[in-house]
Amino acid sequence: MSARRPYMRQVSKTSWFMTHSRYKSYMLHEVSALFVGLYMALLIAGLFCLGSGPEAWDGFLAFVKSPIVVILSIVALAFFIIHTVSWFQAVPQAMRIQQGEHFVPGKLIVGGHYAVLGLFSLFVLILAGVA
């Protein structure tokens, strides 16, 4: 019997995603999801403070207005944009719409998502009294 072993390529356990641009964008999307989740947890904590009374709500507002939280909110906004763009780019592969014999082009699907995002954002801004 032969003692041959198949070739096994060495893969780093900590930086495997740095070898290809698709892996990098995938990891960036995954890291951005952590920031989205943490910010949602902050908002849920704000809802609990709002329900706990005026003192708790004032404390939460003071916390959110602190410079560190403002800077982290700006960083989170950047990650929100990255997460949204990467998610919308993945939509045509996950949602193939067939119209007759042909499929709707991916650019139309992505454009529709951006249009709905813009309309929804405008609606929220109108409700908030900003627009």
| Domain coordinates in residue numbering, the chain | 20-91, 95-131
Q: What is the CATH number of domain 20-91?
A: 1.20.1300.10
Calculate what percentage of the chain has a pLDDT beyond 70. Answer: 98
Length of the chain: 131
Residue type (1 letter), 52: S
Average pLDDT, the chain: 90
Per-residue pLDDT band at 93 (split at 50, 70, 90)? confident
CB within 8 Å of 113: residues ≥ 6 apart: 88, 91
Least confident among 42-51, 62-71, 83-92: 83-92
Q: Per-residue pLDDT tens for 109-130? A: 999 999 999 999 999 999 999 8
